[in-house]
Structure 1
């Protein structure tokens, strides 16, 4: 079924989880990615979809929000069934899926495809929020690059901290390129920026190799501090959750427009 067929059918009948997933799979080129979890429909609630909730992670609180909203589907960036996790549906995992099934709620998740999409992806939306222009990929040989390089108006680290704080609602952790001479109040200018949302802190070495003045991601590890200092690249840890709200919210808006359905983004607070 083509995207046109899906949209035509949805205008006359209730939208199915399978049809919604097929549209998103096609738009995000989901099948092109080798990922850490399955992309697309992960739990089929078995009901026609008339209301949708979106959120970053398919946690219990988001499921409760979907139940309260009488939604038939949840769309997220962080879904279930990650590589290496125990397979049995027990404990917290079993409770989440049992609640979805008992309420007939389908769950659809997209991980790397939603990071990498050039229009509604997490990196694209973060660059847009920070008034940056994406000019290339951190790994140019990749067909569907997850990390990007962007340019901005030349600015100091302190100016960028202020901009990030205003855009994301939280103060980023800044590691200065040279901790002996450079601080957040340094007059060193940042113009070429590597960025990759979420837990991509180890891409900082590639960002330095690609000539970036700074690297922006979500999380930070103990080693990241030393890498930034020794490679001479400023690092901004802006929060895994905070940097990955944009993609799933944008996907929800696209779905709402395409299928003429109410889609509500729920931001479950997460300081990490």
Structure 2
């Protein structure tokens, strides 16, 4: 068992929250009961995940996508009221970490995704050093990389193969990081792996020869929250359960 404030303080140091310029608040977003003994992790603080956490007897919920984002409507109505009402009625603490959870060198989304597809970063690139890049000779070519990712994530990626060159260096950044593609190219990547693709990236892949793989925003970000929560469970003697709610995005 651990006090909610001690848990937040530990997480803020572990994830180096202070160094990031983010789109919303990182840390404790909704205050619940003072003592935490059971923690549930998940990707997004949706109503379905909150209800699943209630059923699991959670004292705390740790997610990548929290409730509050820069520029959103600040009124507590509709879906926001429903989510907050459930959390408050059951006294559940909501901890949310966005960019800090992507960036952690071992427990973050990027590191955990890389581990699953056989990549280890030896450098960073892009804004706030969120992009990871490393050697990739063992993965052969873009088609082989796409096959490995499809097997590991249980989801076939959208592949724009570039010129099909052998892969020496692969850059990656989970979630909606398609805007990092040019930075990955400048860093020497032969392929870039992320969650989503927008219209310009297909043209850039064809014109530069660098492959682009869009593997799913949710699918690439399933690994950081349970890794961090598992670490907390071990350190503080907590019960932990990761609840996966599939998302086609």
CA positional deviation for 1:205: 0.8
- Deviation digits for residues 236-260 of structure 1, max 9, x if unmatched? 0011111111111100110110011
Partner of 2:57: 70
Instruction: Please state whether the residue corresponding to 1:86 is helix, strand or coil.
Output: coil
Give 2:178's match in structure 1, choosing from 198, 201, 207. 201
CA positional deviation for 1:22: 0.7
Give 1:252's match in structure 2, choosing from 208, 215, 229. 229
Kindly indicate whether structure 1 or structure 2 has the higher relative contact order, using CA contacts under 8 Å at least 6 residues apart.
Answer: 2
Deviates more, 1:69-78 or 1:47-56: 47-56
Deviates more, 1:154-163 or 1:57-66: 154-163
**RMSD of aligned residue pairs (Cα, Å):** 1.3
Distance 2:206 2:241 in 1: 42
Partner of 2:38: 51
- Structure 2, unaligned stretches of length 5 or more? none
Q: Is the contact between residue 12 and residue 27 of structure 2 (CA under 8 Å) also seen in structure 1? A: yes
- Deviation digits for residues 22-43 of structure 1, max 9, x if unmatched? 1111111112211101000000
- Structure 1, unaligned stretches of length 5 or more? 1-13, 183-187
Distance 1:253 1:161 in 2: 29
> Larger radius of gyration, structure 1 or 2?
1
- Runs of 4+ deviating beyond 6 Å: none
Instruction: Please state whether the residue corresponding to 1:225 is helix, strand or coil.
Output: helix
Distance 2:208 2:181 in 1: 9
- Deviation digits for residues 2-30 of structure 1, max 9, x if unmatched? xxxxxxxxxxxx42221111111111111
Q: TM-score, normalised by structure 2?
A: 0.96
Give 1:229's match in structure 2, choosing from 206, 212, 218. 206
CA positional deviation for 1:231: 2.0
Indicate yes or no: 2:244 matched with 1:267.
Answer: yes
Paired positions, count: 248
Give 1:150's match in structure 2, choosing from 134, 148, 154. 134
